[in-house]
Structure 1
Amino acid sequence: AYGGVAGTDRQLADRLSTLVPVLYVDPPVSVTTPLLHPHLADSVKGAALRRLGPGLWRLCPRVLPGAYRPGMHRVTNALVRRAARRAARRVAAELEERVEAVVVAASADLLGAVPGARTLFYATDDLVAGADLLGLPRKRLAAARARMLARADEVAVVSPLLRDLFREQGRDPVLVPNGCAPEVYAAIGSAPWPEDVPRFDRPAAGFAGHINGRIDLGLLEAVAATGHPLVLVGPHDPAYHPARFRALTALPNVCWTGRKSFAEMPSYLSTIRVGLTPYLLDDFNRASFPIKTLDYLAAGRAAVSTDLPATRWLRGFTGGADLIRAEPTADGFVRAVETELATEPTDELLTRRRDFAERHDWAQRARALARLLDIDRHSARQEEPAP
């Protein structure tokens, strides 16, 4: 949802809205959503269609409970398509313009929501590989992806692995990786110290994100076992190793803050010296492109990641291998963290990290999508440059 984690969809919608009016369609919600996901309660309150800014609208489609159950998912998709079509027509009428494009970056097929509009399927994860984590049927996700690959005018992907996968399926997708927002961290040096994070007597490592089945909890445990302070910022999935997580956060050198907003990230990242991307090396994660690695660099922090293809891709750019550590083993990961914790962040090093991040900001990613949608008519169709 737009009001939740500031992920790929929201970041790109914000920046595309500076080029052309954008209607952002949230995942569907029902009257039971606030009970199951309290942080999404805002999606159920008020009008379904809301204007967020000069060129940005948000639609919160209302559906029936049990939206993704077998059979009911078809009703849900039909309701969302109808709501999106009506909202798009309403916004277009208000602006006296036509809907030029539809971008789908989820499993729900909205490509036909506005007949005649140019369509883009933007794969930001391998949802089929992540079916078990998402709690959705693999066959349903695979069928939805196949339909969108066949019907979309253009296809974009977030990672090199997804690009290779879709090429095998007969499409030639454009690589548009995740980015970062360097401007958010420009004043991190003056950000207030969070009240729920103690002052440490030595440099801390930290993780910012959702602690769920994508994360290698063993790596966080191994970092904590070194005795260095460890700051965990983000929600924990109660079903993901609850006993181990309770034991981890009970350690005296571990601070877990729970869910925080994107606007609060400068304060929380200011408390750490090293940012962690401890993703499990499974098929779902290998096709991903973690935003947090670039966010750490944008904040001037060191970045230590597991050896993901997206991490190797970033390391291939000039200076990337010196700024991003990629480790395939737990021992190597912990050694890299300890090395970076012992490295003094000089002004020159901070500048190099931030300069690298700026070359991968969200504005550049949005322009790449704009070219695909023929919104940016001054630039030719162009893929993200290879390192």
Structure 2
Amino acid sequence: MIVYFGGSAYEGVTGTDRQLADRLSAMVPVLYVDPPVSVTTPLLHPHLADSVRGAALRRRSPALWRLCPRVLPGAYRPGLHHTTNALVRRAARRAARRMAAELDERVSAVVVAAGADLLDAVPGARTLYYATDDLVAGAELLGLPPRRLAAARERMLARADEVAVVSPLLRELFRAHGRDPALVPNGCAPEAYAGIDTAPWPADVPRFDRPAAGFAGHINARIDLGLLEAVAAAGHPLVLVGPHDPGYQPARFRALTALPDVHWTGRKGFGEMPSYLSTIQVGLTPYRTDAFNRASFPIKTLDYLAAGRAVVSTDLPATEWLRGFSGGADLVRSEATVDGFVRAVEAELAVERTPKLTARRREFAARHDWGQRARALARLLDIDPVPARQEEPAS
């Protein structure tokens, strides 16, 4: 059995941790531990109310349980964070004992993909520190003290049995800290887009008289609004799918979404993505090229390809890593300037999306599916996964 400490809530955005936990649970039972919440969380963050309501421990599937630890208000304030971590460890240990007794299993591994050092939650288990972001570089965005995040990272790098990272830049960073981590990038779910060609057109997106570009994801400080504005200013329809952080340049975002050919849908579920991505010709990964983003691995890039769409991204190490695979260089466009980004979008909008080209994009994405990523983590944990061919980039 695996105890997996996620960096995001299981019921939240269907991101790295949930995708991996779901697939790991096809191999062994998994206890997924959410970031902790206090009784004030639903009041301060209404969009989280549904995900934290009800029992702290819930069974999500035959082999996957989700634990939402309850902690004191002000959980991450200086000093209180030690109490928070202790409460999370205790809650996870109790839930794991309950699961182990019910399943007649033992906890063989602990995965920490969060910023707190929780490796010792289950004594005697094999431990894996899985860094899915450079949290120290993103401390300001996260609203957490960088020194605390750096100290937790150093402790986990020193104590974890295995270390894995999501991006090439994080691998370089951790090598400089004395560990040689495994590279386990983000993946995609090609099966989710199998029916995209027959997906219904969403009611809240108009039909365009020319090909559209689009963005799917959280619109926050990671995103370069200037790139989206430039695409819209060039006269191309633009579809924005996902929530907007109200604190991120609200006036500028309102001006963008007020343009006649810009359509913002707000938050949508993962199951709705085929319909929304069917409305666009080109998917955009317009990340700012700061230290936080350069260490990231945007999931959306592979999702666009899995949906058979073209991709234009800012110049990120993860993008170059994908372009290093056979066939990747002409399927993933990478640009470092605003003008270059817009020109690349315009070039891809002019390309006819033939069945052959769509199949090439989907086949490339399928070589990077979440199943392969989960099997890579399983091998690090000495769990025997289903054998699968693991391809490496050409460069």
Smaller-chain TM-score range? over 0.9
Tell me, yes or no, if structure 1 residue 278 matches structure 2 residue 298: no
Task: Verify: 1:30 aligned to 2:61, yes or no.
Answer: no
Q: Indicate yes or no: 2:286 matched with 1:247.
A: no
Q: Which amino acid aligns with 2:323?
A: R
Whether 2:135 is the aligned partner of 1:127: answer yes
Aligned-partner Cα distance in 1 for 2:230–2:386: 50
Counterpart Cα distance in 2 of 1:340 and 1:90: 53
Report the Cα offset of residue 34 of structure 1.
1.4
**Cα shift at 1:384:** 6.6
Root-mean-square deviation over aligned CA pairs: 1.3
Counterpart residue number, 1:317: 325
Tell me, yes or no, if the aligned pair for 2:326 and 2:393 is still in contact at 8 Å.
no
1:163 alignment counterpart: 171
Residue 120 of structure 2: which of 112, 117, 122 is its match?
A: 112
CA contact (8 A) 1:160 1:310 kept: yes
Query: 2:53 aligned with 1:45, yes or no?
Result: yes
In structure 1, what is the equivalent of residue 91 of structure 2? 83
CA distance in structure 2 between the aligned counterparts of 1:383 and 1:202, rounded to whole angstroms:
39
Residues in 2 aligned to 1:264 and 1:296: alpha-carbon distance in whole angstroms: 14
Deviation at 1:378, TM superposition (A): 7.4
Check whether the contact 1:44–1:62 (CA below 8 A) recurs between aligned residues: no
Aligned to 1:148: 156
Amino acid at match of 1:140: R
Deviates more, 1:27-36 or 1:319-328: 27-36
1:29 deviates by 1.0
Q: State whether residues 213 and 345 of structure 2, in contact with CA within 8 Å, keep that contact through their aligned partners in structure 1.
A: yes
Distance 1:318 1:8, change over 3 A: same
- 1:63 is matched with which residue? 71
> What does residue 337 of structure 2 align with?
329
Give distance in 2, aligned partners of 1:161 and 1:178: 14
- Corresponding residue to 2:194 among 161, 186, 197: 186
Mapped pair 1:102 → 2:107: no
The answer to whether residue 303 in structure 2 is matched with residue 295 in structure 1 is: yes
Could you say what secondary structure the match of 2:265 adopts?
Answer: strand
| 8 Å CA contact 2:164, 2:182 repeated in 1 | yes
Residues 27 and 385 in structure 2, CA contact (< 8 A), matched pair in contact too: no
Q: Deviations over 1:171-199 (max 9, x none)?
A: 11000000000000000011111111111
Matched, 1:348 2:356: yes
Distance 2:314 2:229 in 1: 15
Q: Does 1:358 align with 2:366?
A: yes
CA distance in structure 1 between the aligned counterparts of 2:95 and 2:339, rounded to whole angstroms: 52
The CA distance in 2 between the partners of 1:251 and 1:362, in whole Å, is 37
Runs of 4+ in 1 over 4 A off after TM superposition: 377-380
For the 8 Å contact 2:215–2:239, the answer to whether it is kept is: yes
Question: Is the contact between residue 107 and residue 122 of structure 2 (CA under 8 Å) also seen in structure 1?
Answer: yes
Kept in 2: contact 1:179–1:362 (CA 8 A) = yes
Rate the CA distance shift 1:137–1:383 in 2: closer, same or farther, 3 A: farther
Q: Is the 8 A contact 2:306 2:361 kept in 1?
A: yes
With the length of structure 1 as denominator, give the TM-score of the two structures: 0.98
The amino acid that maps onto 1:385 is E
Choose the corresponding residue for 1:10, options 18, 30, 35. 18
Map 1:199-238; keep pairs closer than 5 Å. 199-238=207-246
Give 1:31 deviation, angstroms.
1.6
Q: Determine helix, strand or coil for the equivalent of 1:213.
A: coil
How many angstroms does 1:377 deviate by?
6.5
Which 5+ residue runs of structure 2 have no aligned equivalent? Answer: 1-8
The count of aligned residue pairs is 386
Aligned residue for 1:51, secondary structure, equals strand
Asked whether the 8 Å contact 2:325–2:392 carries over to 1, the reply is no
Cα distance in 2 for partners of 1:272, 1:311 equals: 20
- Counterpart CA distance in 1 for 2:49 and 2:320 is 38
For 1:347 and 1:249, locate their aligned partners in 2 and report how far apart those are by CA, in whole Å: 32
SS of the equivalent of 2:302 reads helix
1:126, 1:72 → 2: CA distance? 23
Structure 1 stretches lacking a partner, 5+ long = none
Question: 2:275 aligns to what SS in structure 1?
Answer: helix
**Could you say what secondary structure the match of 2:121 adopts?**
coil
Q: Report the counterpart of residue 376 of structure 2 in structure 1.
A: 368
1:137 correspondence with 2:145: yes
| 1:67 Cα deviation from its structure 2 partner | 1.2
Check conservation: 1:174, 1:383, Cα contact below 8 A.
no
